[in-house]
C-alpha cells in the first residue's frame, strides 16, 4: 500500500474544495520551513546555535539564537511565493510586510517560530506553531498591512498546525476537516501521514500544569487541582498523574495523542498579565486543533476561539484537552 504524503493529502483536500490551490501551496512552504528548522534544532551545539542571542523579543523575553534562526527561516521561506499579504511572529513587534519586489496574496500567516525554546539547551522537545487567516479586503488594498488586519477571532482561522522536534519530526495539521499527523521521513525528505483523524479522549487521568505557580492560582483552579491531587481519597475517587514538559507543543502533543488536560490559567503572580500564553500565536492555533480532534479549549470563562483579539501580542489563560475535564474546570470558573 502506497504511503500518503503531505502533498498527496493537501491535493486531495483541494479536490474536495476544502482548501484552494494558494492555501495548499502555503502549507507546503511552511512544511519546507519546518524541515529546515528541524535540521537547525537537530544540529544543536555543532553549529554554535545554542544559547542566548543577546536580545529580547517584544514580550521582554530573552531570545535564544535558535529563536532568531527559526524566525528568519519562516520569513524567508514565505515572503516570495505570492500567497501572503503579511506575516506576524511572536518574535517581532510589528507585522512583517511582503517586500515590494514580490507579489502579494490574500492570506495572513501567524507563527511562534520556536515554542519552548527555553528547553533547547537541555535537549527537550521544542516546536513551531502556526495558523492562517484571510486578509480583510479593506486591508489588502493598502500599501502596508497593519496590526488590525490580524485581529480576528480564532474561529476565523483557515489552517492551524504545529511541528514538534523530538525523536521524530512531526507535523500536526488541520484545515478544518479533522486533525492529521505527518512524520518526516528523513531518507526521502517527505512528510508521511502516520495518524489520521486524531481524537482526544473525552475523559482522562492525566493533567499538565506548572505546579510551581500553585500559590498564585485563582480559587477555581485551586479547587480543581486539589481534587486531582486528592486522588482516590477525594471527591473524584480516582488517581490522576501530572505530566509537565514546559514546552506547550510537547505537552499538547501528548494530550492529542493519549488524552489529558493542559492548563496555563490566569493567576495573581503578575496582575498586569491576564495570562501567560499568546492568543494569536499559541492559544488560537492549539484551540482549533484540539476542537477539531473532539476536545475543548477555554480561558476558564469563554471559548478561546470566540475571544476577540484587541492587540497582536495579547495574552490569555489557556485550558484545553479532554472535553469532560475542560468543561468541569470551566464550570468551576463560571460558578
Contacts of 8 (CB under 8 A, 6+ apart): 193
Question: How far apart, in whole angstroms, are the C-alpha atoms of residue 264 and residue 277?
Answer: 7
- Binding residue positions for substrate: 115-118, 210, 276
Banded pLDDT at 63 (limits 50, 70, 90): confident
- Binding residue positions: 90, 112, 114-118, 210, 276, 282
159-178 mean pLDDT = 97
| pLDDT score of 44 more than 80 | no
In the chain, % of residues over pLDDT 90: 85
Banded pLDDT at 290 (limits 50, 70, 90): very high
Question: How far apart, in whole angstroms, are the C-alpha atoms of residue 13 and residue 236?
Answer: 43
Nearest to 235 by CA among 328, 333, 334: 328
- Binding residue positions for Mg(2+): 90, 112, 114-115, 282
3-class secondary structure, 184? strand
- How many Å from the N-terminal Cα to the C-terminal Cα in the chain? 53
266-278 mean pLDDT = 91
Question: How far apart, in whole angstroms, are the C-alpha atoms of residue 4 and residue 188?
Answer: 13
**Domains of the chain, each with CATH number or no CATH:** 6-195 (3.30.540.10), 206-334 (3.40.190.80)
| pLDDT score of 56 more than 70 | no
Question: How far apart, in whole angstroms, are the C-alpha atoms of residue 120 and residue 127?
Answer: 10
Q: How many CA atoms, within 13 angstroms, populate the side-chain half-sphere of residue 120?
A: 28
Question: How far apart, in whole angstroms, are the C-alpha atoms of residue 209 and residue 265?
Answer: 9
Angle separating helix axes 248-258 and 284-292, nearest 10 degrees:
10
3-class secondary structure, 155? helix
| pLDDT score of 8 more than 90 | yes
Q: What is the pLDDT of residue 97?
A: 96
3-class secondary structure, 76? helix
Q: Which of 185-194, 270-279, 310-319 shows the lowest mean pLDDT across its residues?
A: 270-279
| pLDDT score of 54 more than 80 | no
| pLDDT score of 139 more than 90 | no
Nearest to 112 by CA among 152, 149, 153, 59: 59
Are the beta carbons of 101 and 123 closer than 8 angstroms? no
Q: What is the pLDDT of residue 55?
A: 56
Question: How far apart, in whole angstroms, are the C-alpha atoms of residue 8 and residue 138?
Answer: 34
Are the beta carbons of 77 and 108 closer than 8 angstroms? no
Question: How far apart, in whole angstroms, are the C-alpha atoms of residue 251 and residue 183?
Answer: 18
105-131 mean pLDDT = 93
Average pLDDT along the chain: 93
Q: What is the pLDDT of residue 2?
A: 76
Question: How far apart, in whole angstroms, are the C-alpha atoms of residue 240 and residue 312?
Answer: 36
| pLDDT score of 214 more than 60 | yes
| pLDDT score of 62 more than 70 | no
Q: What is the pLDDT of residue 118?
A: 81
214-234 mean pLDDT = 97
Going by DSSP bridges, is the β-strand pair 126-134/107-115 parallel, antiparallel, or unpaired?
antiparallel
| pLDDT score of 58 more than 80 | no
Nearest to 108 by CA among 317, 312, 318: 312
Banded pLDDT at 222 (limits 50, 70, 90): very high
| pLDDT score of 53 more than 60 | no
Question: How far apart, in whole angstroms, are the C-alpha atoms of residue 321 and residue 11?
Answer: 30
Amino acid at each position: 500500500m502506497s504511503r500518503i504524503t503531505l502533498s498527496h493529502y493537501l491535493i486531495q483536500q483541494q479536490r474536495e474544495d476544502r482548501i484552494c490551490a494558494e492555501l495548499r501551496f502555503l502549507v507546503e512552504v511552511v512544511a519546507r520551513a519546518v524541515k529546515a528548522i528541524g535540521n537547525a534544532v537537530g544540529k544543536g551545539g555543532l553549529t554554535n546555535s545554542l544559547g542566548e542571542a543577546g536580545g529580547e523579543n517584544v514580550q521582554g523575553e530573552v531570545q535564544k539564537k535558535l529563536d532568531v534562526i527559526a524566525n528568519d527561516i519562516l520569513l524567508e521561506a514565505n515572503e516570495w511565493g505570492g500567497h501572503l499579504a503579511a506575516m506576524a511572529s511572536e518574535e517581532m513587534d510589528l507585522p512583517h510586510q511582503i517586500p515590494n519586489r514580490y507579489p502579494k496574496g490574500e492570506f495572513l500567516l501567524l507563527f511562534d517560530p520556536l515554542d519552548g525554546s527555553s528547553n533547547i539547551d537541555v535537549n527537550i522537545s521544542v516546536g513551531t506553531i502556526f495558523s492562517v487567516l484571510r486578509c480583510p479586503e479593506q486591508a489588502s488594498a493598502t500599501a502596508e498591512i497593519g496590526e488590525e488586519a490580524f485581529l480576528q477571532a480564532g474561529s476565523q482561522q483557515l489552517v492551524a498546525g504545529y511541528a514538534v522536534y523530538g525523536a521524530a519530526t512531526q507535523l500536526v495539521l488541520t484545515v478544518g476537516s479533522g486533525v492529521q499527523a505527518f512524520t518526516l521521513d528523513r531518507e526521502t525528505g517527505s512528510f508521511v501521514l502516520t495518524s489520521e483523524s486524531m481524537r482526544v479522549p473525552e475523559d482522562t487521568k492525566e493533567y499538565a500544569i506548572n505546579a510551581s505557580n500553585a500559590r498564585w492560582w485563582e480559587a477555581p483552579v485551586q479547587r480543581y487541582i486539589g481534587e486531582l491531587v486528592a486522588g482516590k481519597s477525594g471527591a473524584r475517587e480516582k488517581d490522576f498523574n501530572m505530566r509537565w514538559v514546559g514546552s506547550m507543543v510537547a505537552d499538547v502533543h501528548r494530550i492529542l495523542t493519549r488524552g489529558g488536560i493542559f492548563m496555563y490559567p490566569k493567576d495573581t503572580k503578575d496582575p498586569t498579565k491576564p495570562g501567560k500564553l499568546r492568543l494569536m500565536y499559541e492559544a488560537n492555533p492549539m484551540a482549533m486543533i484540539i476542537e477539531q480532534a473532539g476536545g475543548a479549549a477555554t480561558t476558564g470563562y469563554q471559548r478561546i476561539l470566540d475571544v476577540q483579539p484587541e492587540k497582536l501580542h495579547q495574552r490569555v489563560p489557556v485550558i484545553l484537552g479532554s472535553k469532560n475535564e475542560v468543561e468541569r474546570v470551566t464550570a468551576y470558573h463560571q460558578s
